[in-house]
Structure 1
Amino acid sequence: MGEFMSVSEPLLDIRRVSANGISVNVATAGDGPAVVLLHGWPHTWEVWRPVLPTLASTHRVIAPDLRGLGASDKPDDGYHLHTLADDAVALLDVLGIERAAVVGIDLGAPVAFMTAARHRDRVERLVVMESLLGRLPGAERFLANGPPWWFGFHAVPGLPETVLAGNVGAYIDWFLRVGTYGLSGVPKPLRDAFVAAYEDPRTLHCGFQHYRAMPINAALIAEAVAEGPLRMPVLALGGNVVGDALHRQLVPVAPDLRGAILERCGHIIPADAPDALLAELGPFLAESPAV
């Protein structure tokens, strides 16, 4: 488990499909119950490579590049959570899938949450990790010294694109190095793939558009919570960066909530502790469908 999977592996199908008005790059593999894997920043779908072969042995795995990132289309707008959640469900429609488990990390976690909240009849199970959900209570300890510095930097229109010109690779590589400190870190092929993706100026800009949408997205999360609790089973996982803050935020939101902290694991869980992640995901996804 946890081995890097070659792009030439015949199990893996990588293609572009039209969904919700954009072209989405998506990797699919395996057969069985569907599970959608949503990456974060500065990742692409490839962050899931270390766990994808094992998941695909029992599930139909669907790993798209988020809007604006990787090889998906890069429009200047559409980075509000409602649109991003609709992207995920439109992808399910194109693939002929009625219901799926949805898994998200980092920027992908709020997208996964909103997909579950906005399309409750389409999401069987929800897994979120190493992120926060807007301004929901529970993250006070994590935010005691303020949000991470780069949130503000990335949100200033045009500034990071200008400041980082010529130094994007070093900047992205820094996040990948400090984001893991566990047993393995980010394998070099993954690190090189992420750096290459974000050195594209358009991808870099769209990545920052995700951050610039965060104030509106926080309001959308609050509205979703006000509509009532999530009824599907929810699993919140933390490394030793965000820790249990996300689980704390979800306590009043998800009555069927489980949580775990993965020891000796940094922020980029699939790359840093793939076996530990699989040990949590496998039993959770294998449970009988929620009624």
Structure 2
Amino acid sequence: MPTAPTPLALRRVRTNGIETTVATAGAGPAILLLHGFPHTWQVWNTVIGPLAHHFRVLAPDLRGLGAATRAADGYDSANLALDAAGVLDALGEPNADVIAIDAGVPAAFLLALHHPERVRRLVLMEATLGTLPGAEAFHAGGPPWWFGFHAVPDLAETVLIGHEAEYIDWFLTAGTRGHGVPPNERSAFLDAYSGRESLRGAFSHYRAMPTTAHQIDAAVSTHRLTTPTTAIGAHPVGESLACQLRPITNNLTEHVIPDCGHIIPLDRPDALLEALADALGVPLRLSTP
């Protein structure tokens, strides 16, 4: 039965050698939300309220992003999974439903694969998993152009200083089919990705991608994903993630949201909540203003 959620609060927690800020709201079984680039926990603003009627929502900033420590290393997804597990530990939660988008997806995947007792249900959206078969159509023209740009040490930071707003706005506009994101979220994202150290933290996720790809390959060679899993695609990833998951997942549900950009929670939160209601087995709808 839905209940009136407790108000949103920000908690500062230590996890796996870093500190991060975790937005919390609601009560009940935990649900962990993992964002991507160029986001902070605030990419989930539109869905936190509806989820908080049924769950204790935990939305941390990822390592090096937002209000998290700009760590020197540890940006591979196996270590990010340890960061996520440490957030649950710090907040007294033995397990959670886990929802992830973009850069948060490989970490959520490895957390569920290596520690299935910690992930009750898994929802992954708008990302691909290393070099696993199934995403050939998405990668047919090579990886997205910014993957290589971000991967070169020191280059992107040097080029972008003083132009962070224009650069981040390009992703926010492209990821919402030209609409852009609401002013509060835009301001939060621009602040979070301003300055050399903030950019370094962001691009460190890309520089760790080869390591992450090896980790994923090694993990699926010995494990299957047994956690009930939902794959949600939009533009541009579409069904590529689901295609990667099908051969290695015991229980997979697939959704592709039409007329939706990459930043699903801010572009089509209504459609996302429909898919999440199906995955989580609870009624979810956008909060009225």
* TM-score w.r.t. length of structure 1: 0.93
**1:251 aligns to 2:246 (yes or no):** yes
From 59, 63, 73, give the equivalent of 1:63. 59
Paired with 2:57 and 2:140, the residues of 1 have a C-alpha distance of 37
* Aligned-pair identity (%): 53
From 257, 262, 273, give the equivalent of 2:257. 262
From 222, 236, 239, give the equivalent of 2:234. 239
- Decide whether the 8 Å contact of 2:6 with 2:26 is kept in 1: no
Shift of 1:77: 0.3
Paired with 1:36 and 1:200, the residues of 2 have a C-alpha distance of 28
From 155, 158, 161, give the equivalent of 1:159. 155
Residue of structure 2 in register with 1:127 after alignment: 123
Q: Write the deviation string for residues 41-90 of structure 1: whole angstroms up to 9, x where unpaired.
A: 00000000011100111111100000111001111101111211001111
From 255, 268, 273, give the equivalent of 1:273. 268
Residue of structure 1 in register with 2:196 after alignment: 201
Match of 1:91, SS state, is helix
Within-5 A mapping of 1:180-219: 180-181=176-177, 185-219=180-214
- The residue identity in structure 2 corresponding to 1:209 is S
**1:21 aligns to 2:20 (yes or no):** no
Paired with 2:6 and 2:65, the residues of 1 have a C-alpha distance of 24
Paired with 1:271 and 1:58, the residues of 2 have a C-alpha distance of 21
Match of 1:51, SS state, is helix
- Decide whether the 8 Å contact of 2:233 with 2:257 is kept in 1: yes
- Between 1:224-233 and 1:33-42, the stretch displaced more is 224-233
Paired with 2:101 and 2:67, the residues of 1 have a C-alpha distance of 19
From 161, 167, 172, give the equivalent of 2:168. 172
Match of 1:252, SS state, is helix
- Decide whether the 8 Å contact of 1:101 with 1:124 is kept in 2: yes
**1:225 aligns to 2:220 (yes or no):** yes
Paired with 1:52 and 1:16, the residues of 2 have a C-alpha distance of 18
Paired with 2:232 and 2:63, the residues of 1 have a C-alpha distance of 24
Unaligned runs of 5+ in 2: 283-289
Shift of 1:134: 0.1
Runs of 4+ in 1 over 6 A off after TM superposition: none
Paired with 1:10 and 1:91, the residues of 2 have a C-alpha distance of 19
Query: What root-mean-square deviation, in Å, do the aligned CA atoms of Structure 1 and Structure 2 show?
Result: 1.4
* TM-score w.r.t. length of structure 2: 0.93
- Decide whether the 8 Å contact of 2:123 with 2:279 is kept in 1: no
From 72, 77, 81, give the equivalent of 2:77. 81
Within-5 A mapping of 1:15-54: 15-54=11-50
- Decide whether the 8 Å contact of 2:13 with 2:22 is kept in 1: yes
Residue of structure 2 in register with 1:5 after alignment: none
Residue of structure 1 in register with 2:138 after alignment: 142
- Decide whether the 8 Å contact of 1:102 with 1:127 is kept in 2: yes
Unaligned runs of 5+ in 1: 1-8
Paired with 1:274 and 1:238, the residues of 2 have a C-alpha distance of 13
